[in-house]
């Protein structure tokens, strides 16, 4: 039996992703020795869902990231990993959630991000935007390139937003993002 190369943890809200899709992703990832752990956050009280804390989040384990950086992930394994992330991205597009507050219920667009820890930094790639599967593939590829080429940064938490027009990631330290957006709400 082959040794597991890492795991992916996925926090989601039931109803946004069909159960059969999750089972298919688990099967695909297990076929290349990646564990897929899911946590349904439906009904769990959360302070807020916004650009910093996505509705759905995928977390890649340190072992999986290290295997990728060291070149130990085969092309077929990477294809399944990338296609799994794109599958979730496509399933989230256009979906809405209800944000319940003590005085109101507001409908809001569901968000999705991919979280990876590299060295001392937490990188959060915001997977959003209406674009083709080919562009989604390029964004995932570029996210992994960012991970492989990552240099330590002063800010512990880095947010990456997609610029669909340029097909590039725009990085902003989380603290800067909060400062820029604190008065917009």
Measure Cα distances from 181 to 50, 171, 178, 185 in Å. Answer: 11, 15, 5, 7
Neighbours of 68 (CB within 10 A): 20
pLDDT of residue 38: 94
Q: 67: Cβ–Cβ under 8 A, 6 or more apart, which residues? A: 5, 6, 73
Q: Which residues pair with 128 in a beta bridge?
A: none
pLDDT of residue 50: 56
pLDDT of residue 151: 77
pLDDT of residue 47: 58
pLDDT of residue 185: 53
Cα–Cα distance measured from residue 61 to residue 59, given in angstroms and rounded to the nearest whole number: 6
Q: Which residues pair with 107 in a beta bridge?
A: 98
Output the tens digit of pLDDT for each of the chain's 185 residues: 578 899 999 998 888 899 999 999 999 999 999 999 999 887 776 655 455 677 889 999 999 999 999 999 999 999 999 999 999 999 988 888 887 777 888 888 888 999 998 878 899 999 987 889 999 999 999 999 999 888 777 788 999 999 999 999 999 998 888 888 776 65
pLDDT of residue 184: 64
b/e string for 137-167 if b means 16 or more Cβ within 10 A?
eebbebbbebbeebeeeebebbbbbbeeeee
The pTM of the full predicted model, rounded to 2 decimals, is 0.88
pLDDT of residue 45: 66
């Amino acid at each position: 039996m082959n040794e597991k190369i890492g795991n992916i943890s996925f926090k989601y809200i039931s109803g946004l992703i069909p159960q059969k899709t999750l089972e298919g992703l688990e099967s695909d990832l297990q076929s290349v020795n990646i564990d897929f752990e899911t946590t349904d956050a439906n009904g769990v009280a959360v302070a807020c869902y916004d650009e910093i804390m996505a509705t759905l989040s995928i977390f890649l384990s340190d072992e999986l990231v290290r295997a990728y950086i060291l070149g130990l992930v085969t092309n077929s394994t990477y294809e399944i990993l990338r296609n799994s992330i794109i599958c979730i991205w496509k399933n989230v597009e256009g979906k809405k959630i209800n944000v319940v507050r003590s005085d109101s219920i507001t409908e809001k667009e569901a968000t999705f991000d991919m979280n990876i820890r590299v060295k001392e930094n937490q990188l959060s790639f915001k997977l959003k935007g209406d674009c083709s599967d080919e562009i989604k593939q390029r964004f995932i590829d570029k996210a992994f390139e960012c991970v492989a080429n990552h240099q330590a940064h002063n800010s512990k938490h880095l947010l990456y937003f997609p610029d669909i027009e340029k097909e590039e990631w725009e990085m902003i330290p989380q603290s800067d993002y909060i400062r820029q957006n604190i008065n917009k709400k």
